[in-house]
Structure 1
Amino acid sequence: MQSNSSLSVVIPVFNEEDNLRPLMDQIRSALAPLGRPWEAVFVDDCSTDRSLAVIRELAAADPEHVRYAAFAANRGQSAAFAAGFAAARHDLVVTIDADLQNDPADIPLLLELIDQGYDMACGLRARRRDSFMKRIASKIGNFVRTRMTGKTVTDTGCSLKIMRADMARRMPVFKGMHRFLPNLMLWQGARVAERPVNHRPRVAGKSKYGTLDRAISGGYDLLGVRWLRARYIQYEIKEKN
Protein backbone atom coordinates (compact mmCIF):
# COMPACT_ATOMS: atom_id res chain seq x y z
CA MET A 1 0.00 0.00 0.00
CA GLN A 2 1.44 3.38 -1.00
CA SER A 3 2.31 5.91 1.68
CA ASN A 4 -0.16 8.43 0.20
CA SER A 5 -3.16 6.09 0.29
CA SER A 6 -6.52 7.79 0.79
CA LEU A 7 -8.87 7.06 3.69
CA SER A 8 -12.58 6.41 4.24
CA VAL A 9 -13.59 6.57 7.91
CA VAL A 10 -16.61 4.31 8.46
CA ILE A 11 -18.76 5.20 11.47
CA PRO A 12 -21.78 3.11 12.51
CA VAL A 13 -24.30 5.26 14.38
CA PHE A 14 -27.20 4.37 16.65
CA ASN A 15 -28.58 7.12 18.90
CA GLU A 16 -25.40 9.19 19.24
CA GLU A 17 -26.73 12.66 18.39
CA ASP A 18 -24.64 14.49 21.03
CA ASN A 19 -21.38 12.86 19.95
CA LEU A 20 -21.49 13.32 16.18
CA ARG A 21 -20.46 16.97 15.82
CA PRO A 22 -17.44 16.72 18.16
CA LEU A 23 -16.48 13.42 16.51
CA MET A 24 -16.51 15.01 13.07
CA ASP A 25 -14.45 17.95 14.34
CA GLN A 26 -11.88 15.53 15.77
CA ILE A 27 -11.73 13.43 12.60
CA ARG A 28 -11.15 16.58 10.54
CA SER A 29 -8.42 17.76 12.91
CA ALA A 30 -6.68 14.38 12.71
CA LEU A 31 -6.87 13.89 8.93
CA ALA A 32 -6.67 17.34 7.36
CA PRO A 33 -2.95 17.81 8.18
CA LEU A 34 -2.03 14.51 6.49
CA GLY A 35 -2.46 15.91 2.99
CA ARG A 36 -4.30 12.79 1.77
CA PRO A 37 -7.80 12.51 0.30
CA TRP A 38 -10.26 11.41 2.98
CA GLU A 39 -13.93 11.12 3.76
CA ALA A 40 -16.16 10.23 6.70
CA VAL A 41 -18.95 7.75 5.91
CA PHE A 42 -21.66 7.70 8.58
CA VAL A 43 -24.05 4.73 8.55
CA ASP A 44 -27.16 5.41 10.62
CA ASP A 45 -28.65 2.20 11.98
CA CYS A 46 -32.23 3.52 12.19
CA SER A 47 -31.59 5.81 15.15
CA THR A 48 -34.60 6.96 17.17
CA ASP A 49 -33.04 10.27 18.25
CA ARG A 50 -31.78 13.16 16.05
CA SER A 51 -28.65 11.34 14.88
CA LEU A 52 -29.73 11.17 11.24
CA ALA A 53 -30.73 14.84 11.24
CA VAL A 54 -27.30 15.79 12.60
CA ILE A 55 -25.58 13.61 9.99
CA ARG A 56 -27.56 15.29 7.20
CA GLU A 57 -26.47 18.68 8.51
CA LEU A 58 -22.82 17.59 8.63
CA ALA A 59 -23.03 16.29 5.05
CA ALA A 60 -24.69 19.48 3.81
CA ALA A 61 -22.02 21.62 5.46
CA ASP A 62 -19.08 19.61 4.04
CA PRO A 63 -20.17 17.46 1.07
CA GLU A 64 -16.55 16.94 0.02
CA HIS A 65 -15.72 15.03 3.18
CA VAL A 66 -18.99 13.79 4.69
CA ARG A 67 -21.23 11.12 3.21
CA TYR A 68 -23.85 8.91 4.78
CA ALA A 69 -26.22 6.00 4.40
CA ALA A 70 -29.32 5.41 6.52
CA PHE A 71 -30.87 2.01 7.14
CA ALA A 72 -34.63 1.56 6.83
CA ALA A 73 -34.60 -0.73 9.89
CA ASN A 74 -32.14 -1.47 12.68
CA ARG A 75 -29.68 -4.09 11.48
CA GLY A 76 -26.76 -3.87 13.90
CA GLN A 77 -23.14 -2.79 13.90
CA SER A 78 -21.85 -5.49 11.54
CA ALA A 79 -24.36 -4.55 8.86
CA ALA A 80 -23.43 -0.89 9.30
CA PHE A 81 -19.74 -1.64 8.84
CA ALA A 82 -20.46 -3.75 5.75
CA ALA A 83 -22.56 -0.96 4.24
CA GLY A 84 -19.77 1.51 4.99
CA PHE A 85 -17.15 -0.72 3.39
CA ALA A 86 -19.29 -1.00 0.27
CA ALA A 87 -19.77 2.78 0.11
CA ALA A 88 -16.13 3.69 0.77
CA ARG A 89 -14.45 5.42 -2.17
CA HIS A 90 -10.83 5.33 -0.96
CA ASP A 91 -7.94 2.85 -0.66
CA LEU A 92 -8.18 2.32 3.09
CA VAL A 93 -11.09 2.03 5.47
CA VAL A 94 -10.85 3.23 9.05
CA THR A 95 -13.38 1.83 11.52
CA ILE A 96 -14.29 3.89 14.56
CA ASP A 97 -17.16 4.04 17.05
CA ALA A 98 -19.45 7.06 17.21
CA ASP A 99 -19.39 7.23 21.02
CA LEU A 100 -16.11 9.22 21.24
CA GLN A 101 -14.36 6.49 23.25
CA ASN A 102 -11.99 5.95 20.32
CA ASP A 103 -9.69 8.93 19.70
CA PRO A 104 -9.42 10.04 16.04
CA ALA A 105 -6.03 11.56 16.90
CA ASP A 106 -4.69 7.98 16.93
CA ILE A 107 -5.55 7.40 13.26
CA PRO A 108 -2.18 8.77 12.03
CA LEU A 109 -0.36 6.44 14.47
CA LEU A 110 -2.09 3.39 13.00
CA LEU A 111 -1.58 4.74 9.50
CA GLU A 112 2.18 4.55 10.07
CA LEU A 113 1.84 0.75 10.29
CA ILE A 114 -0.02 0.65 6.98
CA ASP A 115 2.70 2.78 5.40
CA GLN A 116 5.23 0.19 6.65
CA GLY A 117 3.51 -2.50 4.58
CA TYR A 118 0.85 -3.95 6.88
CA ASP A 119 -2.60 -4.63 5.44
CA MET A 120 -4.38 -3.96 8.73
CA ALA A 121 -3.51 -1.89 11.79
CA CYS A 122 -5.50 -2.44 14.99
CA GLY A 123 -5.77 -0.27 18.05
CA LEU A 124 -4.87 -1.78 21.41
CA ARG A 125 -6.61 -0.06 24.31
CA ALA A 126 -3.68 0.19 26.72
CA ARG A 127 -5.79 1.86 29.42
CA ARG A 128 -9.43 0.79 29.18
CA ARG A 129 -11.89 3.41 30.43
CA ASP A 130 -14.70 0.92 30.94
CA SER A 131 -16.14 -0.73 34.04
CA PHE A 132 -14.23 -3.52 35.78
CA MET A 133 -16.81 -6.10 34.69
CA LYS A 134 -16.63 -5.00 31.06
CA ARG A 135 -12.81 -5.21 31.09
CA ILE A 136 -12.85 -8.71 32.59
CA ALA A 137 -15.51 -9.87 30.14
CA SER A 138 -13.41 -8.50 27.27
CA LYS A 139 -10.27 -10.36 28.43
CA ILE A 140 -12.18 -13.62 28.72
CA GLY A 141 -13.82 -13.06 25.35
CA ASN A 142 -10.48 -12.38 23.65
CA PHE A 143 -8.96 -15.54 25.15
CA VAL A 144 -11.85 -17.78 24.13
CA ARG A 145 -12.03 -16.18 20.67
CA THR A 146 -8.35 -16.88 20.05
CA ARG A 147 -8.62 -20.50 21.19
CA MET A 148 -11.67 -21.19 19.03
CA THR A 149 -10.91 -19.22 15.87
CA GLY A 150 -7.12 -19.21 15.63
CA LYS A 151 -4.60 -16.41 15.56
CA THR A 152 -5.98 -12.93 16.13
CA VAL A 153 -4.97 -9.66 17.82
CA THR A 154 -4.75 -8.84 21.52
CA ASP A 155 -7.73 -6.50 21.64
CA THR A 156 -10.36 -7.45 19.08
CA GLY A 157 -12.92 -5.24 20.86
CA CYS A 158 -11.18 -1.99 19.98
CA SER A 159 -13.16 -0.55 17.07
CA LEU A 160 -10.33 1.71 15.89
CA LYS A 161 -8.76 -0.14 12.97
CA ILE A 162 -7.40 0.60 9.50
CA MET A 163 -7.46 -1.95 6.69
CA ARG A 164 -7.23 -2.23 2.94
CA ALA A 165 -10.64 -1.46 1.46
CA ASP A 166 -10.43 -4.19 -1.19
CA MET A 167 -9.83 -6.84 1.48
CA ALA A 168 -12.54 -5.43 3.74
CA ARG A 169 -15.07 -5.78 0.94
CA ARG A 170 -14.16 -9.46 0.46
CA MET A 171 -15.16 -10.37 4.01
CA PRO A 172 -18.22 -12.57 4.49
CA VAL A 173 -21.01 -10.51 6.08
CA PHE A 174 -22.84 -11.94 9.09
CA LYS A 175 -24.17 -10.82 12.47
CA GLY A 176 -21.22 -10.34 14.81
CA MET A 177 -18.77 -9.84 11.92
CA HIS A 178 -17.38 -6.71 13.57
CA ARG A 179 -16.00 -8.81 16.45
CA PHE A 180 -13.85 -10.86 14.06
CA LEU A 181 -12.42 -8.34 11.58
CA PRO A 182 -8.76 -9.27 12.32
CA ASN A 183 -9.56 -12.98 11.86
CA LEU A 184 -11.31 -12.31 8.57
CA MET A 185 -8.34 -10.30 7.34
CA LEU A 186 -5.81 -12.92 8.49
CA TRP A 187 -7.72 -15.63 6.64
CA GLN A 188 -7.09 -13.64 3.46
CA GLY A 189 -3.36 -13.65 4.15
CA ALA A 190 -3.24 -10.08 5.48
CA ARG A 191 -0.31 -8.77 7.47
CA VAL A 192 -1.78 -7.44 10.71
CA ALA A 193 -0.17 -5.31 13.43
CA GLU A 194 -1.28 -3.61 16.66
CA ARG A 195 -0.37 -0.35 18.35
CA PRO A 196 -1.49 1.09 21.73
CA VAL A 197 -4.13 3.79 21.39
CA ASN A 198 -6.06 6.13 23.65
CA HIS A 199 -9.38 5.05 25.14
CA ARG A 200 -11.76 7.59 26.63
CA PRO A 201 -14.77 7.36 28.95
CA ARG A 202 -18.20 7.82 27.44
CA VAL A 203 -19.49 11.33 28.20
CA ALA A 204 -22.77 11.36 26.23
CA GLY A 205 -25.31 8.77 25.16
CA LYS A 206 -25.66 5.24 26.49
CA SER A 207 -23.84 1.99 25.81
CA LYS A 208 -25.85 -0.26 23.49
CA TYR A 209 -24.67 -3.55 25.03
CA GLY A 210 -24.71 -5.13 28.47
CA THR A 211 -22.07 -7.60 29.66
CA LEU A 212 -24.52 -10.53 29.56
CA ASP A 213 -25.78 -9.53 26.10
CA ARG A 214 -22.22 -9.50 24.77
CA ALA A 215 -21.42 -12.88 26.32
CA ILE A 216 -24.48 -14.61 24.87
CA SER A 217 -24.26 -13.14 21.37
CA GLY A 218 -20.47 -13.47 21.33
CA GLY A 219 -20.61 -17.16 22.24
CA TYR A 220 -23.18 -17.83 19.53
CA ASP A 221 -21.05 -15.98 16.98
CA LEU A 222 -17.94 -17.96 17.97
CA LEU A 223 -19.58 -21.23 17.00
CA GLY A 224 -20.50 -19.83 13.61
CA VAL A 225 -17.06 -18.37 12.95
CA ARG A 226 -15.37 -21.62 13.95
CA TRP A 227 -17.50 -23.39 11.34
CA LEU A 228 -16.76 -20.64 8.82
CA ARG A 229 -13.03 -20.95 9.39
CA ALA A 230 -13.17 -24.67 8.65
CA ARG A 231 -15.14 -24.07 5.42
CA TYR A 232 -13.48 -20.81 4.27
CA ILE A 233 -12.33 -20.79 0.63
CA GLN A 234 -9.42 -18.61 -0.46
CA TYR A 235 -8.36 -18.38 -4.10
CA GLU A 236 -6.30 -16.25 -6.49
CA ILE A 237 -6.98 -15.65 -10.19
CA LYS A 238 -3.98 -16.55 -12.34
CA GLU A 239 -5.39 -15.42 -15.67
CA LYS A 240 -8.62 -14.13 -17.19
CA ASN A 241 -9.87 -12.35 -20.31
Structure 2
Amino acid sequence: MSDPNMISIVIPAKDEVVAIAPLIEEVGAVLSGENFEVIVVDDGSTDGTDAKLRELAARCNWLIPLHNKVSAGQSASIRKGVRFAHGRLIVTLDGDGQNPPDQIPALLAPFRSTAPEVCALGLVQGQRILRRDTVAKRFASRFANGLRGALLRDNIRDSGCGLKAFRREAYLDLPWFDHIHRFMPAMMLREGWRVETVDVTHRERQGGQSKYSNLRRGLVGIPDLLGAAWLIMRKGPPRHEECGPVPVAGSHGKARPGAVQ
Protein backbone atom coordinates (compact mmCIF):
# COMPACT_ATOMS: atom_id res chain seq x y z
CA MET A 1 0.00 0.00 0.00
CA SER A 2 1.36 3.42 -0.96
CA ASP A 3 1.99 6.14 1.58
CA PRO A 4 1.61 9.69 0.19
CA ASN A 5 3.83 11.08 2.95
CA MET A 6 6.71 8.65 2.48
CA ILE A 7 9.85 9.24 0.42
CA SER A 8 11.26 6.10 -1.17
CA ILE A 9 14.96 6.11 -2.04
CA VAL A 10 15.84 3.50 -4.67
CA ILE A 11 19.51 2.58 -5.18
CA PRO A 12 20.66 0.02 -7.78
CA ALA A 13 23.99 -1.54 -6.82
CA LYS A 14 26.31 -4.14 -8.30
CA ASP A 15 29.62 -5.10 -6.68
CA GLU A 16 29.69 -2.00 -4.47
CA VAL A 17 30.67 -3.58 -1.14
CA VAL A 18 33.18 -0.77 -0.45
CA ALA A 19 30.83 2.13 -1.17
CA ILE A 20 27.40 0.88 -0.10
CA ALA A 21 27.61 1.16 3.71
CA PRO A 22 28.91 4.77 3.80
CA LEU A 23 26.35 5.72 1.15
CA ILE A 24 23.42 4.30 3.11
CA GLU A 25 24.60 5.96 6.30
CA GLU A 26 24.76 9.31 4.47
CA VAL A 27 21.24 8.87 3.09
CA GLY A 28 19.93 8.09 6.58
CA ALA A 29 21.60 11.20 8.00
CA VAL A 30 20.26 13.48 5.24
CA LEU A 31 16.68 12.21 5.67
CA SER A 32 16.73 12.11 9.47
CA GLY A 33 13.33 13.28 10.71
CA GLU A 34 11.56 12.39 7.47
CA ASN A 35 9.19 9.51 6.79
CA PHE A 36 11.34 7.46 4.42
CA GLU A 37 12.55 4.09 3.27
CA VAL A 38 15.72 3.11 1.40
CA ILE A 39 15.44 0.25 -1.09
CA VAL A 40 18.76 -1.08 -2.37
CA VAL A 41 18.52 -3.55 -5.24
CA ASP A 42 21.63 -5.71 -5.36
CA ASP A 43 22.01 -6.66 -9.02
CA GLY A 44 23.64 -10.07 -8.76
CA SER A 45 26.79 -8.91 -6.95
CA THR A 46 29.60 -11.39 -6.34
CA ASP A 47 31.76 -9.30 -3.98
CA GLY A 48 29.68 -9.56 -0.79
CA THR A 49 27.38 -6.56 -1.39
CA ASP A 50 24.28 -8.66 -0.63
CA ALA A 51 25.68 -9.85 2.72
CA LYS A 52 26.69 -6.30 3.65
CA LEU A 53 23.16 -5.08 2.92
CA ARG A 54 21.62 -7.76 5.12
CA GLU A 55 23.98 -6.78 7.90
CA LEU A 56 23.01 -3.11 7.57
CA ALA A 57 19.28 -3.94 7.43
CA ALA A 58 19.54 -5.69 10.79
CA ARG A 59 20.23 -2.32 12.44
CA CYS A 60 18.46 0.11 10.06
CA ASN A 61 14.70 -0.51 10.11
CA TRP A 62 14.26 1.83 7.14
CA LEU A 63 16.58 -0.18 4.86
CA ILE A 64 15.03 -2.78 2.52
CA PRO A 65 17.54 -4.88 0.57
CA LEU A 66 16.32 -6.68 -2.53
CA HIS A 67 18.41 -9.10 -4.57
CA ASN A 68 18.60 -10.16 -8.21
CA LYS A 69 20.03 -13.68 -8.37
CA VAL A 70 21.18 -12.93 -11.93
CA SER A 71 22.28 -9.46 -13.01
CA ALA A 72 19.36 -7.74 -14.76
CA GLY A 73 20.90 -4.31 -15.37
CA GLN A 74 20.45 -0.86 -13.87
CA SER A 75 17.07 -0.03 -15.40
CA ALA A 76 15.53 -3.35 -14.40
CA SER A 77 16.90 -2.99 -10.87
CA ILE A 78 15.45 0.52 -10.54
CA ARG A 79 12.10 -0.73 -11.81
CA LYS A 80 12.11 -3.56 -9.26
CA GLY A 81 12.80 -1.09 -6.48
CA VAL A 82 10.11 1.35 -7.63
CA ARG A 83 7.50 -1.39 -7.85
CA PHE A 84 8.33 -2.46 -4.29
CA ALA A 85 8.35 1.12 -2.97
CA HIS A 86 5.62 2.44 -0.68
CA GLY A 87 6.15 6.17 -1.25
CA ARG A 88 4.46 8.19 -3.99
CA LEU A 89 7.68 10.12 -4.50
CA ILE A 90 10.82 8.24 -5.55
CA VAL A 91 14.43 9.42 -5.45
CA THR A 92 17.15 7.44 -7.20
CA LEU A 93 20.92 7.63 -6.94
CA ASP A 94 23.75 5.35 -8.01
CA GLY A 95 25.24 2.81 -5.64
CA ASP A 96 28.88 3.76 -6.28
CA GLY A 97 28.78 6.84 -4.05
CA GLN A 98 29.40 9.36 -6.84
CA ASN A 99 25.95 10.94 -6.32
CA PRO A 100 26.16 12.82 -2.96
CA PRO A 101 23.04 12.16 -0.82
CA ASP A 102 23.13 15.74 0.46
CA GLN A 103 21.70 16.72 -2.94
CA ILE A 104 18.41 14.89 -2.23
CA PRO A 105 16.67 17.93 -0.63
CA ALA A 106 17.35 19.96 -3.80
CA LEU A 107 15.57 17.30 -5.85
CA LEU A 108 12.59 17.23 -3.49
CA ALA A 109 12.20 21.01 -3.26
CA PRO A 110 10.29 21.53 -6.57
CA PHE A 111 7.71 18.90 -5.53
CA ARG A 112 7.16 20.72 -2.25
CA SER A 113 6.39 24.02 -3.93
CA THR A 114 2.93 25.52 -3.48
CA ALA A 115 2.85 26.70 -7.10
CA PRO A 116 -0.17 25.35 -9.07
CA GLU A 117 2.02 23.85 -11.80
CA VAL A 118 3.60 21.39 -9.33
CA CYS A 119 0.65 19.08 -10.00
CA ALA A 120 1.93 18.48 -13.55
CA LEU A 121 5.54 17.95 -12.39
CA GLY A 122 6.58 14.37 -13.04
CA LEU A 123 10.38 14.43 -12.80
CA VAL A 124 13.19 16.51 -11.33
CA GLN A 125 16.38 15.55 -13.15
CA GLY A 126 19.76 16.19 -11.56
CA GLN A 127 22.46 17.61 -13.82
CA ARG A 128 26.05 17.09 -12.71
CA ILE A 129 28.45 20.01 -12.40
CA LEU A 130 32.22 19.61 -11.94
CA ARG A 131 32.06 15.90 -12.78
CA ARG A 132 34.71 13.75 -11.07
CA ASP A 133 35.14 11.31 -13.96
CA THR A 134 37.98 10.68 -16.40
CA VAL A 135 38.40 13.04 -19.34
CA ALA A 136 37.44 10.23 -21.74
CA LYS A 137 34.23 9.46 -19.83
CA ARG A 138 33.26 13.13 -19.65
CA PHE A 139 33.85 13.56 -23.37
CA ALA A 140 31.84 10.44 -24.24
CA SER A 141 28.99 11.57 -21.98
CA ARG A 142 28.99 15.07 -23.49
CA PHE A 143 28.84 13.62 -27.01
CA ALA A 144 26.05 11.19 -26.10
CA ASN A 145 24.00 13.89 -24.39
CA GLY A 146 24.42 16.20 -27.37
CA LEU A 147 23.28 13.51 -29.78
CA ARG A 148 20.35 12.57 -27.57
CA GLY A 149 19.27 16.18 -27.17
CA ALA A 150 19.44 16.82 -30.91
CA LEU A 151 17.28 13.79 -31.68
CA LEU A 152 14.83 13.79 -28.78
CA ARG A 153 14.71 17.57 -28.12
CA ASP A 154 14.24 17.13 -24.37
CA ASN A 155 16.36 20.20 -23.48
CA ILE A 156 18.27 18.20 -20.86
CA ARG A 157 22.04 18.55 -20.52
CA ASP A 158 22.70 15.41 -18.48
CA SER A 159 19.91 12.79 -18.55
CA GLY A 160 22.33 10.05 -17.44
CA CYS A 161 22.76 11.50 -13.94
CA GLY A 162 21.54 8.96 -11.37
CA LEU A 163 20.09 11.65 -9.09
CA LYS A 164 16.41 11.92 -9.98
CA ALA A 165 13.13 12.50 -8.14
CA PHE A 166 9.85 11.47 -9.72
CA ARG A 167 6.27 10.45 -9.07
CA ARG A 168 5.94 6.70 -8.73
CA GLU A 169 2.72 6.56 -10.76
CA ALA A 170 4.28 8.61 -13.55
CA TYR A 171 7.28 6.29 -13.77
CA LEU A 172 5.18 3.11 -13.81
CA ASP A 173 3.09 4.57 -16.64
CA LEU A 174 6.13 4.96 -18.94
CA PRO A 175 6.76 2.52 -21.80
CA TRP A 176 9.30 0.01 -20.52
CA PHE A 177 12.60 -0.82 -22.22
CA ASP A 178 16.08 -1.63 -20.94
CA HIS A 179 18.25 1.46 -20.24
CA ILE A 180 15.16 3.68 -19.92
CA HIS A 181 16.84 5.36 -16.94
CA ARG A 182 18.99 7.29 -19.47
CA PHE A 183 15.90 8.61 -21.27
CA MET A 184 13.60 9.45 -18.37
CA PRO A 185 13.15 13.16 -19.18
CA ALA A 186 12.16 12.46 -22.79
CA MET A 187 9.79 9.68 -21.75
CA MET A 188 8.16 11.84 -19.05
CA LEU A 189 7.66 14.64 -21.57
CA ARG A 190 6.18 12.09 -23.99
CA GLU A 191 3.47 11.29 -21.44
CA GLY A 192 2.66 14.95 -20.83
CA TRP A 193 4.47 15.41 -17.51
CA ARG A 194 6.54 18.50 -16.78
CA VAL A 195 10.28 18.07 -16.18
CA GLU A 196 12.55 20.34 -14.14
CA THR A 197 16.33 20.22 -13.77
CA VAL A 198 18.51 20.90 -10.74
CA ASP A 199 22.29 21.27 -10.77
CA VAL A 200 23.88 18.73 -8.43
CA THR A 201 27.41 18.04 -7.25
CA HIS A 202 29.43 14.95 -8.12
CA ARG A 203 32.36 13.17 -6.53
CA GLU A 204 34.91 10.49 -7.25
CA ARG A 205 33.94 6.84 -7.16
CA GLN A 206 34.12 5.48 -3.61
CA GLY A 207 35.13 1.96 -4.67
CA GLY A 208 34.59 -0.77 -7.25
CA GLN A 209 34.72 -0.26 -11.00
CA SER A 210 32.50 1.32 -13.65
CA LYS A 211 30.11 -1.23 -15.17
CA TYR A 212 30.38 0.25 -18.70
CA SER A 213 33.31 1.10 -20.94
CA ASN A 214 32.82 4.06 -23.27
CA LEU A 215 32.58 1.64 -26.22
CA ARG A 216 30.02 -0.60 -24.56
CA ARG A 217 27.94 2.38 -23.43
CA GLY A 218 27.92 3.70 -27.00
CA LEU A 219 27.01 0.36 -28.55
CA VAL A 220 24.01 -0.18 -26.30
CA GLY A 221 23.02 3.49 -26.46
CA ILE A 222 22.51 3.78 -30.23
CA PRO A 223 19.56 1.34 -30.56
CA ASP A 224 18.07 2.72 -27.32
CA LEU A 225 18.23 6.26 -28.70
CA LEU A 226 16.59 5.23 -31.96
CA GLY A 227 13.92 3.32 -30.04
CA ALA A 228 13.21 6.31 -27.80
CA ALA A 229 12.89 8.55 -30.86
CA TRP A 230 10.41 6.08 -32.39
CA LEU A 231 8.34 6.01 -29.19
CA ILE A 232 8.17 9.81 -29.16
CA MET A 233 7.15 9.88 -32.81
CA ARG A 234 4.34 7.37 -32.10
CA LYS A 235 3.07 9.01 -28.90
CA GLY A 236 -0.64 9.40 -28.30
CA PRO A 237 -2.46 11.90 -26.06
CA PRO A 238 -1.05 12.40 -22.53
CA ARG A 239 -2.34 9.68 -20.22
CA HIS A 240 -2.00 11.17 -16.75
CA GLU A 241 -5.14 12.75 -15.31
CA GLU A 242 -4.50 13.65 -11.68
CA CYS A 243 -1.27 13.90 -9.74
CA GLY A 244 -2.38 13.23 -6.21
CA PRO A 245 -0.46 14.32 -3.12
CA VAL A 246 3.29 14.14 -2.64
CA PRO A 247 5.31 14.32 0.59
CA VAL A 248 5.52 17.78 2.13
CA ALA A 249 8.17 19.19 4.39
CA GLY A 250 7.53 18.18 7.96
CA SER A 251 5.48 15.04 7.16
CA HIS A 252 7.19 12.87 9.73
CA GLY A 253 6.21 9.33 10.54
CA LYS A 254 7.57 6.01 11.64
CA ALA A 255 9.85 4.45 9.08
CA ARG A 256 8.67 1.12 7.77
CA PRO A 257 10.66 -1.80 9.21
CA GLY A 258 13.08 -3.27 6.72
CA ALA A 259 12.38 -6.53 4.92
CA VAL A 260 14.88 -8.86 3.37
CA GLN A 261 14.26 -10.81 0.18
* TM-score computed with the length of structure 2 as normaliser: 0.84
Establish whether residue 42 from structure 1 lines up as the match of residue 40 from structure 2.
yes
Deviations 1:40-93 (A, max 9, x none): 001111111100111111222223x11122112111001001111101100111
Deviations 1:172-192 (A, max 9, x none): 221111111111111122221
* Map 1:125-144 → 2, pairs under 5 A: 125-144=128-147
Q: Aligned-pair distance for 1:233?
A: 3.7
State the alpha-carbon separation in 1 of the partners of residues 154 and 230 from structure 2.
Answer: 15
Structure 1: 4+ residue segments shifted above 4 A = 234-238
* TM-score computed with the length of structure 1 as normaliser: 0.91
Higher helix residue share:
1
Cα pair distance change 1:73/1:131, threshold 3 Å = same
Unmatched runs of 5 consecutive residues or more in structure 1? none
Matching residue within 59, 67, 78 for 1:70: 67
Matching residue within 100, 117, 123 for 1:103: 100
Q: Aligned-pair distance for 1:5?
A: 4.1
* Map 1:151-230 → 2, pairs under 5 A: 151-230=154-233
Contact 1:111 1:162 in 2 (8 A): yes
Identify which of structures 1 and 2 has the higher relative contact order when contacts are C-alpha pairs closer than 8 Å and 6+ apart. 2
- In structure 1, what is the equivalent of residue 123 of structure 2? 120
- In structure 2, what is the equivalent of residue 12 of structure 1? 12
Contact 1:10 1:81 in 2 (8 A): yes
Q: Aligned-pair distance for 1:150?
A: 2.7
State the alpha-carbon separation in 2 of the partners of residues 145 and 237 from structure 1.
Answer: 25
Q: Which amino acid aligns with 1:217?
A: V
- In structure 1, what is the equivalent of residue 54 of structure 2? 56
Q: Aligned-pair distance for 1:22?
A: 0.2
- In structure 1, what is the equivalent of residue 88 of structure 2? 91
Q: Aligned-pair distance for 1:234?
A: 4.2
Please, what is the CA RMSD of the aligned residues?
Answer: 1.6
